[in-house]
Amino acid sequence: MALLSPSSTRFLCKNPNPTRGDRAIASSLRRAPSSVVSPRSKPFSLAISSRSPTRRCSASLAESPIVAAGSRFQLEDVIEAQQFDRDILNEIFEVAHQMEEIEKSSTGSAILKGYLMATLFYEPSTRTRLSFESAMKRLGGEVLTTENAREFSSAAKGETLEDTIRTVEGYADIIVLRHFESGAARRAASTASIPVINAGDGPGQHPTQALLDVYTIKREIGRLDGITLGLVGDLANGRTVRSLAYLIAKYQNIKIYFVSPEVVKMKDDIKDYLTAMGVEWEESSDLLEVASKCDVVYQTRIQKERFGERVDLYEAARGKYIVDKVVLEVLPKHAVIMHPLPRLDEITVDVDGDPRAAYFRQAKNGLYIRMALLKLLLLGW
């Protein structure tokens, strides 16, 4: 029997309607002893692996002509925005558009039938967790989930993240992790022998949010080069704006305005990265002036949970910059307002009815991006 690595076996063509025997064979391939399957033992790396051709699933083609398992996806895990280049982004967005067609069709898809996704969320989530679970189910897969794992899992007993990952990978084919510590997703990916997706790691990064944000900008504005963005709110603690800054820097002629209270200004590592990438950026305290120049105003909430006992600093920052009807008056007609949600009072509800309010369309796009990532990580292109 030919030696197979887990990173190869999880990209094997999979029958969309497997029998119990089919699933047992697939499971044995994924979890065979080291004499048959060499351990992946992958230290996390940003390196992109070369594509290797695999056969296409004729059953998948017949069942859903839009999506078929093809050549291997370049990434083993999704950990941070720096992993992506423009070519991969364009290809992911093409698959996301295909996923939109699947979601809108009456027949749906079963290309991930027989696969299990585990969602480990150590911090609260609504959109990210539910969109991942919806994405998996809409593609025929199943979900193992734990909400508030910080309190209602063995982490409360002192179990390490690494031990949790080693345990859960025995039950699932892919792990989606949200954690309160920056760098936790990288640790999990270094431990796991199955794909890991970072669904937010403390104040670190949120790469799938950045992917859906850039996808939304493309859909709403019609281009990604030559965009002017205003990033507003909690820029020090907001992992969404950090990941977005990393990702949008892949494009040409980008201008970014940072608008935030002094206590939550964008950190120097992002500014240094943008400068190195040739991205023009500027800090401003005038939201109205910035909004009048922008294609995208990306508002974020001030994150109370990141302030600890310094409630005074939180109260000083909260409510300083609010997107309301006055901002709409100066915002260009073609521009959009985005927000990763949830919002508190940083966008007034009377803005919701304006066609430039894109944040709920943005949230829906998260479903398509996450469907695309699950398909690509488990089946390939």
Active site residues: 127-128, 157, 178, 206
Angstrom CA distances, 15 to 72, 189, 240, stand at: 17, 27, 36
Q: Classify burial at 371, counting beta carbons within 10 Å of its beta carbon; exposed 0-12, middle 13-18, buried 19 or more.
A: buried
* Nearest Cα to Cα of residue 177 among 285, 45, 79, 60: 79
Cα–Cα distance, 23 to 27 (Å, whole number): 6
Question: Which residues neighbour 378 within 8 Å (Cβ) at sequence distance 6 or greater?
Answer: 10, 11, 112, 115, 173, 174, 195
Angstrom CA distances, 4 to 11, 51, 61, 131, 182, stand at: 11, 16, 25, 32, 33
Residues 291, 292, 294, 296, Cα dihedral to 10°: 50
Cα–Cα distance, 128 to 145 (Å, whole number): 13
Cα–Cα distance, 105 to 95 (Å, whole number): 15
* Nearest Cα to Cα of residue 161 among 125, 201, 211: 201
Cα–Cα distance, 240 to 238 (Å, whole number): 5
Reduced to 3 states, what is the DSSP secondary structure of residue 115? coil
DSSP characters over 280-344? EEEEES-HHHHHTT-SEEEE----GGGSTT-HHHHHHHTTSS-B-HHHHHHS-TT-EEE--S--S
Cβ(95)–Cβ(379) below 8 Å: no
**Helix-, strand-, coil-residue percentages of the chain, each rounded to 5:** 45, 15, 45
Reading phi first (left if > 0) and then psi (alpha if -120 to 50, else beta), residue 25 is in alpha
Cβ(75)–Cβ(45) below 8 Å: no
